[in-house]
Chain A
């Protein structure tokens, strides 16, 4: 333990230092000037302070008040040394925050047990702090594990939907990353951006409920078939809704609204403008842009700049102007994401 003794009379300083030494293997730091002692304590936070009452320039009461006002010495054990008769001073010391007293002249029979008590108090304080830190760390780990499992479940769900869809490869990673980039550019708070990144891959999970003959039909869909195809938004919502997980709640919202259009011509509810949740408006841009720039059985991948111009042209009709503006502003990042998650040609 680290013990500081602040005392201006050398005889007492040496006497107390020797008594402390005989108590065990403790580091003892001595100060005859209270200002220097205080500065050292503030910087190095010892385990116990023993401070004399009567000292030049700064008395023990003022010393203790300074300690108690600081964060690092706020609840450290402090012993104040006074004459037994100084009752008023003892009351003032308790008021200032002294933990206990030592009586002058120093008496080993009192000194040793009191110092030992203070060190035991300090030890239990340290143990308690350690326990609290340990517990906080365990909670953090457990929470992190839960989040990791949730992310995994979400990714597996998204993968399940992917199996039903010709949109293969890195589509879901790309569109989720585009969505997060746009959200960040708009200025959504970082936790929301992170949630969007996790939720966006599930936007097409409702395709699990779309019949094969429609989902995998090579040619153009009839109006009736197209109506059934549109239902993947509602089915996705039904799969994901009413979860207690914020990520799944957001995913349900995205599944339902990512085919809505800003001018009200989208589906399933023909919602308009800001009646469409921001998540749906963002994912709409990311999803369309990725579809345009990816190879499909029926089309080539569009040139990136052509796709960008197309998206910008749809501002106000298909897309929210705030989202396309953000998309345009973070174009460099969009290009990086596209390059990072490039589909291998043979995988198409």
Chain B
């Protein structure tokens, strides 16, 4: 069992959140893996357009999704990006967005492994 939370995936925490239902955990992980490229693209498009409102929404949606897996680092980065968007601190967008996308990618890889291990 992979209990390493540096990947952003905190399996023990998530199982506690959903009543120990491993089947549900896997179902939700699959949905996330299908959906997260869309969320990443939303972030990239908003970043290119320098659209603070869109970037805020995209960061919020990503935070809301990854939060379910106990990805605390990614959640914190998303929150920082949200705050930057609210403050209109455009200079901070690229670095925060890059960090968020990287964190999400790491989480996704951990979820792929989780699914493979339990296939």
Contact = CB atoms under 8 A, between A and B. Distances in A.
A113 interface: no
B99 interface: no
A11 B27 CA distance: 9
Contacts of A22: 19, 21
Interface stretch (A12-20, A169-177, A337-345): A12-20
Interface stretch (B30-38, B43-51, B89-97): B30-38
Interface stretch (A100-108, A128-136, A195-203, A299-307): A100-108
A56 B34 contact: no
Contacts of B70: 105
Given A105-B17, A106-B68, A11 B57 contact: no
Q: Secondary structure at chain B's binding surface: helix, strand, loop or mixed?
A: helix
A106 B25 CA distance: 12
Contacts of B60: 54
A19 B17 CA distance: 11
10 contacts: A8-B61, A9-B35, A9-B65, A11-B65, A12-B68, A15-B24, A22-B19, A54-B60, A108-B18, A109-B17
A211 interface: no
Question: Which 6 A-B pairs rank lowest in CB-CB distance, beginning with the nearest?
Answer: A105-B67, A108-B19, A11-B65, A10-B35, A14-B31, A105-B68
A244 to B, nearest CB: 66
B61 to A, nearest CB: 6
Interface of B: 17-19, 21, 24, 27-28, 31-32, 34-35, 57, 60-61, 64-65, 67-68, 70
A9 B64 contact: yes
Contact of B57 (A15, A54, A107, A108): A54
A54 B56 CA distance: 11
Q: How large is the interface on A (under 10, 10 to 19, 20 to 34, 35 or more residues)?
A: 20 to 34
B18 to A, nearest CB: 5
A52 B65 CA distance: 12
A54 B60 CA distance: 8
Interface in A10-60: 10-12, 14-15, 18-19, 22, 52, 54, 56
A283 B45 CA distance: 86
Contact of B64 (A14, A104, A108): A104
B28 A15 contact: yes
Given A9-B64, A108-B17, 11 more contacts: A10-B31, A11-B31, A11-B35, A11-B64, A12-B65, A15-B18, A19-B24, A52-B64, A54-B60, A106-B18, A108-B19
B64 A54 contact: yes
Contacts of B57: 54, 56
A10 B17 contact: no
A52 B61 CA distance: 11
A54 B57 CA distance: 8
A109 B19 CA distance: 7
A18 B61 CA distance: 20
A14 B18 contact: no
Contacts of B32: 10-11
Contact of B24 (A10, A12, A18, A56): A18
Contacts of A12: 64-65, 68
Nearest to A85: B79
A112 B61 CA distance: 23
